[in-house]
Amino acid sequence: MTLTEKIRVARGKSPSDLLLTNARIVNVFTGEIEDGNIAVSDGMIVGTKPCPAVETIDLKGRYVSPGLIDAHVHIESSMADITGFARAVVPHGTTTVVADPHEIANVLGIKGIEYMLQTSKNQPMTIYLGLPSCVPATDLETSGARLSAEDLAPFMNLKNVAVLGEMMNFPGVIHGDPVVLSKMEMARKAGKRIDGHSPGLTGHDLNAYLVAGAASDHECTTEKEAWEKLSAGMFIMIREGTGARNLHDLLPVLNLRTASRIMWCTDDRHPRELVHEGSIDSMVREAVRCGVDPVTAIRTGTLSPADYFGFHHLGAIAPGRLANLVVFSDLQHFCAEMVYHQGKLVAKDGEMLPEIPKPAAIAVENSMNVDIFALDFKIPCKGKRARVIEIVPGQIVTRQVVKEISCKDGSVLADTDEDILKMAVVERHTGSGNIGKGLVSGFGLKTGALASSVAHDSHNIIVVGTQDSDMKSAVEQVIKMGGGLAVVDGDQIVETLPLPVAGLMSSKPVKTIQKQMDKLLNISHNIGCRLDDPFMILSFLALPVIPELKLTDKGLVDVTAFKLVSLFSFRH
68-78 core/surface letters (b: 16 or more CB in 10 A; e: else):
bbbbbbbbbbb
* Contact of 253 with 236, CB cutoff 8 Å: yes
Q: What are phi and psi of 214, to 5 degrees?
A: -60, 130
How far, in Å, CA of 330 to CA of 53, rounded?
Answer: 27
How far, in Å, CA of 454 to CA of 520, rounded?
Answer: 15
How far, in Å, CA of 212 to CA of 442, rounded?
Answer: 37
Averaged pLDDT score across all residues of the chain: 95
Q: Give the strand pairing for 16-27 and 53-58.
A: parallel
pLDDT of residue 571: 63
- CA neighbor of 270 nearest in space, from 98, 88, 434, 417: 88
Which residues share a beta bridge with 8? none
pLDDT digits (tens, 9 = 90+) for 117-159: 999 999 999 999 999 999 998 889 999 999 999 999 999 999 9
Q: List Cβ neighbours of 512 (8 Å cut-off, separation of 6 or more).
A: none
How remote is the C-alpha of 469 from its chain's centroid? Answer: 33
Nearest-5° angle of CA 218, CA 223, CA 225?
Answer: 60
- Does position 43 have pLDDT exceeding 60, yes or no? yes
Q: What percent of the chain has pLDDT above 70?
A: 100
Give the range among 14-23, 35-44, 505-514, 539-548 with minimum mean pLDDT: 539-548
How far, in Å, CA of 246 to CA of 397, rounded?
Answer: 12
143-164 core/surface letters (b: 16 or more CB in 10 A; e: else):
bbbebebebbeebbeeeebbbb
* Contact of 223 with 250, CB cutoff 8 Å: yes
pLDDT of residue 562: 86
Sheet holding 555-558, edge to edge: 549-552, 555-558, 563-565
pLDDT digits (tens, 9 = 90+) for 65-119: 999 999 999 999 999 999 999 999 999 999 999 999 999 999 999 999 999 999 9
pLDDT digits (tens, 9 = 90+) for 169-225: 898 999 999 999 999 999 999 999 999 999 999 999 999 999 999 999 999 999 999
3-state secondary structure of 157: coil
Q: List Cβ neighbours of 30 (8 Å cut-off, separation of 6 or more).
A: none
The Cα-based distances of 564 to 291, 553, 557 in angstroms read 45, 11, 4
pLDDT of residue 395: 80
Which residues share a beta bridge with 39? 19, 47
pLDDT of residue 139: 87
pLDDT band per the 50, 70, 90 thresholds, residue 546: confident
pLDDT digits (tens, 9 = 90+) for 550-571: 999 999 999 988 899 999 977 6
* Contact of 28 with 68, CB cutoff 8 Å: no
Nearest-5° angle of CA 357, CA 362, CA 368?
Answer: 145
Average pLDDT in the 240-250 region?
Answer: 91
pLDDT of residue 1: 86
How far, in Å, CA of 221 to CA of 421, rounded?
Answer: 27
- CA neighbor of 71 nearest in space, from 165, 135, 138, 174: 165
Q: Give the strand pairing for 406-408 and 351-352.
A: unpaired
pLDDT of residue 363: 84
How remote is the C-alpha of 388 from its chain's centroid? Answer: 27
| Domain 68-312, second-level architecture | Alpha-Beta Barrel (3.20)
Most confident of 3-7, 207-211, 272-276: 207-211
* Contact of 113 with 105, CB cutoff 8 Å: yes
How far, in Å, CA of 305 to CA of 69, rounded?
Answer: 7
Average pLDDT in the 532-547 region?
Answer: 90
- Would you kindly state where each structural domain of the chain is located, as residue ranges? 68-312, 372-565
Average pLDDT in the 458-477 region?
Answer: 97
